[in-house]
Amino acid sequence: MDWIAIVLRWTHIGTAIVLVGGTCFLRFVLAPAAAQLPDEHHAKLKELVMKTWKKFVHGGIALFLISGLYNYLVVQIPLHKGDKLYHPLVGTKILLSLGIFFIASALVGRSKTFEGMRRNSKRWQSVILLMAVVVVGISGFVKVRGVPAKAIAPSEVQTVAR
């Protein structure tokens, strides 16, 4: 049993729950409630929340990259050798995830280049959530689909069956 793979899988899923759930909370609960505050209080609250949320975003991205790369390179590539659908689906998932990481980093950053994105943070948080739904959908499909029998060499059938 590969304990590293198990721990990193739990880390990957737990990080997804925290970051997607946190983004959903920011977009649909905190932002509408904070909009009711006077401008100076709203600005201060946003500054404080983003200062803390930034740590979660950057830490989460690091955890996603470490756990995802290990899972893909060490566990999944050998398992899905010869599977013509798996790798394009996972490649799409990876590209979408990198897009999410970019947008999330831009929203919590301080670069003047992305100030326009931060002014439209509700829209960009919605984009993140939509992209995350697609990533989760791809992940679910790949997981339910399993490993096609023809992608497994006869000598590996016993190993995969365990």
Per-residue pLDDT tens over the stretch 92-128: 999 999 999 999 999 999 999 999 999 999 999 999 9
| Structural domain containing residue 18 | 3-161
b/e for 129-147, b at 16 or more Cβ within 10 A? bebbeebeebbeebeeeeb
Written as six digits, the tokens of 45 are: 């609250």
**pLDDT tens digits, 48-95:** 999 999 999 999 999 999 999 999 999 899 989 889 999 999 999 999
Are the CB atoms for 121 and 107 separated by under 8 Å?
A: yes
Quick one: tokens of 113? 């280049």
Tally of domains in the chain: 1
Tokens representing 34? 């904070």
